[in-house]
Amino acid sequence: MERTLIIIKPDAMQRGLAGEIIRRFEARGLRIVGMKFMQISRELAEKHYAEHVGKDFYESLLAYITSAPVIVMVLEGNEAIEAARGTIGKTNPIVAAPGTIRGDLGMETGRNLVHGSDKPESAEREVSLFFAPGELLSWQRDTERWIFE
Ligand code: IDP
Ligand code: MG
């Protein structure tokens, strides 16, 4: 089973959309194995978004992600990374498909509501930035066999 790191970003928290966003991942069938409410420090944001250093949006991205509390989650499932990215939608909400979180709820790339890891190496790195191993719970839902064949 694959794991992915999800962040419900400050704009989603400010807009009261956390429940709506969690609902979509849960309904999809992804299993929550970790969750915390926190405000991301500048230092942690720099580590998380290290791949974007030097880009023109880098400083505004750090200001955005540290601007208010967030909910950080680890979701698990077969192909969890691709499944979550599909549920999230394209980076720019204007071109994200209707039915996706960004396509249904967002209007701008700089206010795109949610983060999801983009590949297995990123997911491993990001999960370990935000969670200690003991904070992740392995558990089975009674519905498991109705979600995964
Ligand atoms: P992703 O979140 O869909 O993986 P990335 O390209 O990894 O997108 O960019 C990380 C985050 O940086 C985006 O989710 C968005 O918040 C922000 N971002 C990316 N490109 C731009 C831009 O052109 N303007 C403003 N913010 C941007
Ligand atoms: Mg990315």
Between CA 80 and CA 66 the distance in angstroms is 26
**pLDDT value for 137:** 98
Looking at domain 2-39+70-136, its CATH class is: alpha beta
Let me know: does 49 contact 115? Beta carbons within 8 Å. no
Whole-structure pTM value: 0.98
Q: Which two tokens stand for residue 122?
A: 């990123």
Q: Which are the contacts of 142, defined by CB distance < 8 A and separation ≥ 6?
A: none
**pLDDT value for 143:** 97
pLDDT tens track for 37-81:
999 999 999 999 999 999 999 999 999 999 999 999 999 999 999
**pLDDT value for 131:** 98
Given the CA of residue 9, which atom of ligand 1 is nearest to it? 16
**pLDDT value for 120:** 98
Q: How far is the CA of 61 from the centre of ligand 1 (A)?
A: 8
Q: Which two tokens stand for residue 30?
A: 């992804």
Q: How far is the CA of 65 from the centre of ligand 2 (A)?
A: 13
**pLDDT value for 139:** 97
Q: Which of 11, 115, 116, 130 is catalytic?
A: 115
Residue of 40, 34, 61, 39 lying closest to 50 (CA atoms): 61
User: 117 falls in which pLDDT band (50, 70, 90)?
Assistant: very high
Residues whose beta carbon lies within 6 Å of some atom of ligand 1: 57, 61, 91, 109-110, 112, 115, 118
Ion ligand 2, residue ranges at CB < 5 A: 118
Burial status of residue 55 (CB atoms within 10 A of its CB: 0-12, 13-18, 19 or more): exposed
Please provide the average confidence, as pLDDT, over all residues in the chain: 98
**Alpha carbon distances (Å) from 139 to 34, 45, 76, 142:** 11, 29, 10, 10
Mark whether 48 is an active-site residue: no
Would you list the domain boundaries of the chain? Answer: 2-39+70-136
**% of the chain at pLDDT higher than 70:** 100
**% of the chain at pLDDT higher than 90:** 99
